[in-house]
Structure 1
Amino acid sequence: MPKAYWIARVDITDPDAYKEYLARNSVAFAKYGARFIVRGGPFETVRGEARQRNIVIEFADLATARACAESPEYAEAALWRDKGAIVDLILIEGYDGVQPGA
């Protein structure tokens, strides 16, 4: 079964509220075994429009990624996220198939 990912693009509008979100989201992420692959950092926009921050979080599978997003623990943190940022968030299943050159 392929892993799954949250892919988030974020523009911070209220740094204090967003800091509170960051302090609170670890409860849900720990419970659902989340692992950060990308958490901010330098990036280049090759095409399209960018936001200030990009985040990729890995989960065991799509059901687990969805359960975390819909959990009461994450909902509590998300209240602060929504006060402090504009966020695009998708949940996506990873690819387990043949790779180029294989």
Structure 2
Amino acid sequence: MPKGYVIGRAKVTDATKWAVYAARSSEVMKIYGGTPIVRGGQMTVAEGEGRARNIIIEFADFQSAKAYAASPEYAEARKLREGAGEIDLVVVEGA
């Protein structure tokens, strides 16, 4: 069965608020069996638009990744992020 991934690209404008969100979303990620593969770190834009903060979280399968992103626990974490920046999140099935 292919793994599932949550992929995010973010622009942080309030690091303090973002840190609170990141801590809570990390707790939620563990509940749903997620493992961070990429979390910030050095990056360069090869094509198109990029954002300074990038994340990839691996899950056992696509359904688990979707469950995390749609969970009430993650919805609570999202509220903590309000006013802290912008993020694009997608859930992707692995090969």
- State the AA in 2 paired with 1:4: G
RMSD of aligned alpha carbons: 1.0
Quote the residue 2:65 is aligned against: 65
Counterpart of 2:22? 22
- Residue 99 of structure 1 is matched in structure 2 by none
How far 1:25 sits from its partner (Å)?
A: 1.1
Which runs of at least 4 in structure 1 moved beyond 6 Å after TM superposition?
none
Letter in structure 2 aligned against 1:59: F
> TM (normalized to structure 1)?
0.88
CA distance in 2, matches of 1:82, 1:58: 24
Q: Is the 8 A contact 1:37 1:56 kept in 2?
A: yes
Does the 8 Å CA contact 1:27/1:73 hold for their aligned counterparts?
A: no
Aligned twin of 1:100: none
Determine whether 1:35 maps to 2:35. Answer: yes
The structure with more radius of gyration: 1
TM-score where L is the length of structure 2: 0.94
Q: Which runs of 5+ in 2 are unaligned?
A: none
Equivalence for 1:45: 45
Deviations 1:43-85 (CA, angstroms, capped at 9, x unpaired): 1111011111010000111110111111111111111223312
Give the count of matched residue pairs.
95
Paired with 1:69 and 1:14, the residues of 2 have a C-alpha distance of 22
Deviation string, structure 1 residues 11-48 (Cα, Å, up to 9, x no partner): 00111110110121122111111001100100111101
- Percent identity, aligned pairs only? 47
